[in-house]
Chain A
Amino acid sequence: DARVTQTPRHKVTEMGQEVTMRCQPILGHNTVFWYRQTMMQGLELLAYFRNRAPLDDSGMPKDRFSAEMPDATLATLKIQPSEPRDSAVYFCASGLAGIYNEQFFGPGTRLTVL
Chain B
Amino acid sequence: AQSVSQHNHHVILSEAASLELGCNYSYGGTVNLFWYVQYPGQHLQLLLKYFSGDPLVKGIKGFEAEFIKSKFSFNLRKPSVQWSDTAEYFCAVKGDNDMRFGAGTRLTVKP
A residues sitting closer than 8 Å to B (CB atoms) are 33, 35, 42-43, 45, 48, 55-56, 91, 93, 99-100, 102-108
B99 at the interface (CB under 8 A from A): yes
In the complex, the answer to whether B45 meets A105 with C-beta atoms within 8 Å is: yes
**Does the CB pair A42–B104 fall under 8 Å?**
yes
**Contact A100 to B32, CB < 8 A, known contacts A43-B90, A106-B43, A108-B43:** yes
Which of B36, B96, B100: most chain A Cβ within 10 A? B36
Contacts of B44 in A (CB 8 A): 43, 91, 93, 105
Can you list 9 A-B contacts with CB-CB less than 8 angstroms, sorted by A residue number?
A42-B102, A43-B90, A43-B101, A45-B98, A102-B49, A105-B44, A105-B45, A106-B43, A107-B43
Q: Is the CB of A45 within 8 A of B43?
A: no
* Contact of A33 with B43 in the complex, beta carbons under 8 Å: no
Contacts of B36-80 to chain A: CB distance below 8 A: 36, 42-46, 49, 51
Q: Which residues of B contact A (CB under 8 A)?
A: 30, 32, 34, 36, 42-46, 49, 51, 90, 94-104
- A99 & B30 in contact (Cβ 8 Å cutoff): yes
Contacts of B51 in A (CB 8 A): 100
Partner of B97, one of A56, A91, A102, A105: A56
Q: How far is the CA of A108 from the CA of B98 in the complex (A)?
A: 19
Chain A neighbourhood of B100, CB < 8 A: 45
